[in-house]
Structure 1
Amino acid sequence: MRIARIDIFQVDLPVKGGVYRLSGGRQYTAYDATIARVTTACGRIGWGESTPFGSTYVAAHAGGTRAALYLLAPALIGMDPRLHDRLWDRMRETLRGHRDARTALDVACWDIAAQATGLPLCDMLGGRIPGPVPVISSIGGDAPDAMRAKVAAHRAQGFLGHSIKIGATEAEGGPSLDAERICACLADRQPGEWFLADANNGLTPEHALRMLALLPDGLDFVLEAPCATWAATQSLRARCRVPILLDELIQSEGDLIQAIANDTCDGVGLKVSKQGGITAMIRQRSIAASAGMVISVQDTVGSEISCATILHVAQSTPRPLLRCALDPRAMVDISVATFDAPVVAGGAEAPDLPGLGVTPDMAVLGDPVASFGG
Structure 2
Amino acid sequence: MQIARIEVYQADLPVKGGVYRLSGGREYRSYDATFVKMTTACGLTGWGESTPFGATYVAAHAPGTRAGIAVLAPALLGHDPRHHDRNWERMQATLTGHRNARCALDVAMWDIAAQAAGQPLHGITGGATSGPVPLISSIGGDTPDAMRAKVAAHRAQGFMGHSIKIGAAEADGGPALDAERIAACLADRQPGEWYLADANNGLSPEHALRMLALLPAGLDVVLEAPCASWRETETVRARCPVPILLDELIQSEADLVHAIRHDLCDGVGLKLSKQGGITPMLRQRMLAASAGMVMSIQDTVGSEISFAAILHFAQSTPRPLLRCALDTRAMVDVSIAAFDAPVIGGGSTAPVTPGLGVTPDPSRLGDPVAEYAL
TM-score tier (shorter)? over 0.9
Q: CA deviation at 1:128?
A: 0.6
Give the aligned partner of residue 315 of structure 2.
315
Is 2:254 the partner of 1:254? Answer: yes
Give the aligned partner of residue 234 of structure 2.
234
Is 2:362 the partner of 1:362? Answer: yes
Residue segments in structure 1 that go unaligned for 5+ positions in a row = none
Give the aligned partner of residue 294 of structure 1.
294
C-alpha separation in 1, matches of 2:210 and 2:129: 41
C-alpha separation in 1, matches of 2:209 and 2:19: 28
Q: How many residues align?
A: 374
Give the aligned partner of residue 158 of structure 2.
158
* Residues 1-374 of structure 1 mapped to structure 2, 5 A cutoff: 1-374=1-374
Q: CA deviation at 1:171?
A: 1.0
Residue identity opposite 1:303 in structure 2: S
C-alpha separation in 2, matches of 1:309 and 1:262: 31
Residue segments in structure 2 that go unaligned for 5+ positions in a row = none
C-alpha separation in 2, matches of 1:370 and 1:215: 50
Q: CA deviation at 1:172?
A: 1.0
C-alpha separation in 2, matches of 1:243 and 1:215: 14
Residue identity opposite 1:243 in structure 2: P
C-alpha separation in 2, matches of 1:363 and 1:82: 30
Name the SS for the 1:320 alignment partner: helix
Q: CA deviation at 1:216?
A: 1.0
Q: Alpha carbon RMSD of aligned pairs, Å?
A: 0.4
> CA deviation digits over 1:55-97, x for unaligned, max 9?
0000000010000111000000000000000110100000000
Q: TM-score, normalised by structure 1?
A: 1.00
Name the SS for the 1:162 alignment partner: strand
Residue identity opposite 1:83 in structure 2: H
> CA deviation digits over 1:129-153, x for unaligned, max 9?
1210000000000000000000000
Residue identity opposite 1:96 in structure 2: T
Name the SS for the 1:176 alignment partner: helix
Name the SS for the 1:343 alignment partner: coil
Residue identity opposite 1:70 in structure 2: A
C-alpha separation in 2, matches of 1:183 and 1:82: 47
Name the SS for the 2:172 alignment partner: coil
C-alpha separation in 1, matches of 2:209 and 2:347: 34
- Percent identity over the alignment is 76
C-alpha separation in 2, matches of 1:147 and 1:235: 29
Q: CA deviation at 1:331?
A: 0.2
Name the SS for the 1:171 alignment partner: helix
C-alpha separation in 2, matches of 1:129 and 1:123: 10
Residue identity opposite 1:93 in structure 2: A
Q: TM-score, normalised by structure 2?
A: 1.00
